Amino acid sequence: MRDRRIFFIIFFSIFVATLGCGIIAPAMPLYAQALGASGFWLGVIYATFSVSRVIFMPLAGRLSDLKGRKDFLITGLTIYTIISFGYIWSQSVVQLTGIRFLHGLGSAMVIPIASAIIGDISPRGKEGSMMGDFQVALFLGFGVGPLLGGVIMDAFNMSAVFYIVGVLSFFSLLCVILFLPKLKDRCVRTQDQISSFRILLTHSMFKGLLIYRFSNAVGRAVIIAFLPIFASDLQMTSSQIGILVSTNILLTSILQHGFGKVADRFHRPYLVIGGNILAALPLLLMPLATNFYQLLALGIMMGVGGGVAFPAGGALVTEVGREHGMGNVIGYINMAMNLGSIVGSVVAGCVMDLFGLPFVFIFGGIVGLLGSVGCIYWMVHGQLVKR
């Protein structure tokens, strides 16, 4: 009963927090361009959020294994709440970049810590179901958010988007403070029970998971940062842009529960590899799209790929985390994801400036396919060699 209570509190709180982050998605690239951002600076603005998470996520994850998780989650949500209003006060590209860095700091103590809590309470053999159900909150929030963000922008203005994000973050913070119990009995370990990154790199499954999260994040960063501009160039409305950004994320969310159960019954690495390939292929086709419905179909294909891969990936992370420190492992896996977001933002921004916007999507698709090859080597071949 206590575990169910913990699960639903974390699920609801993270849904509300990620809903707020998702609402920003349609506004951010257009807001940055209004402040004078080039393709390169647009990439930098998105990448700064991830740079902050790369710096702080491993530290937050490791410390949460030693000290407990609730205080980190509260601190992160407090930063979320305050910084949401900082977007409104930004008057330049540099100021907006600084706000994104601070937002990343808060994020480093929210989603990875929440994921570690779910890993702590996951029964053995049910990791796929638990992580799949939890990730519904992540993807549903990020998926519904852009749709709402586009509607809010059409009905009001960009400032209204950021005010709503602040209110949602504060509501999520109150839920955690008032209702989430202390969790030290589940997660606290001694220093020698938490593996160093060097030791983790001897684990072939861990290396495969790093490659998967990195390559997948490159593709998702390309979609979030550059699809709104591509769609805007095709004369689509803010609401249509919100739908396009939301579609693959929402579909991934819907499929989490079912494929979480599949991940508890079938070989998880194959699900990760197959899903990652399915998510990468639409990026290669995106430059050929000429209307809303073609882009929507490609988004649906990406959503199915994410729905297949993410629950299995989350279950594998939980397995490794039990052995090497749950917060520790999740912190490093999320670090890889954010490195992918940095590459997907900055390098893709340079690709846009040098070669044009269509080549941004080709770049993302190639990285996704190469990442899938790496997953095959470490998750399948590496495990066979280990045996």
Pick 40 or 256 by higher pLDDT: 256
Q: What is the pLDDT of residue 292?
A: 92
Q: Quick count: other Cβ atoms within 10 Å of Cβ 266? A: 13
Question: Which tokens go with 343?
Answer: 């590459």
Q: What is the pLDDT of residue 333?
A: 92
pLDDT tens for residues 76-110?
999 988 888 888 888 888 888 898 899 889 888 88
Question: Which range has the worst mean pLDDT, 17-31, 61-75, 121-135, 184-198?
Answer: 184-198
Q: What is the pLDDT of residue 385?
A: 46
CB 215 within 8 A of CB 340: yes
Q: Which residues contact 15 (CB under 8 A, 6 or more apart)?
A: 137, 138, 140, 141
Q: How confident is the model at residue 183 (pLDDT cuts 50, 70, 90)?
A: low
- CA 205, 210, 214, 216 torsion-angle sign: positive
Superfamily of domain 2-179+194-386: MFS general substrate transporter like domains (1.20.1250.20)
Amino acid at 329: V
Q: What is the pLDDT of residue 293?
A: 93
Q: What is the pLDDT of residue 287?
A: 93
As a whole number of angstroms, the distance between CA 107 and CA 113 comes to: 9
Task: Give the domain ranges of the chain.
Answer: 2-179+194-386
Q: What is the pLDDT of residue 271?
A: 95
Beta strands of the chain (E only): which ranges? none
Q: Is the pLDDT of residue 61 over 80?
A: yes
CB 153 within 8 A of CB 228: no
Buried-exposed string 365-375: b where 16+ CB fall within 10 A, e elsewhere = bbbbbebbebb
Mean pLDDT computed over 33-60 = 82
Question: Which range has the worst mean pLDDT, 17-26, 243-252, 351-360?
Answer: 17-26
Mean pLDDT computed over 39-68 = 83
Mean pLDDT computed over 46-66 = 85
Q: What is the pLDDT of residue 43?
A: 72
Question: Which tokens go with 302?
Answer: 């990406």
Highest mean pLDDT among 161-165, 192-196, 285-289: 285-289
Q: Is the pLDDT of residue 186 over 60?
A: no
Three-state DSSP class for residue 180 = coil
Q: Is the pLDDT of residue 387 over 50?
A: no
Q: Is the pLDDT of residue 383 over 70?
A: no
What Cα–Cα distance (Å) separates residue 332 from each residue in 95, 112, 209? 28, 9, 10
Question: Which range has the worst mean pLDDT, 148-162, 221-235, 302-316?
Answer: 148-162
Q: How confident is the model at residue 49 (pLDDT cuts 50, 70, 90)?
A: confident
Pick 189 or 62 by higher pLDDT: 62
> pTM for the complete prediction?
0.80
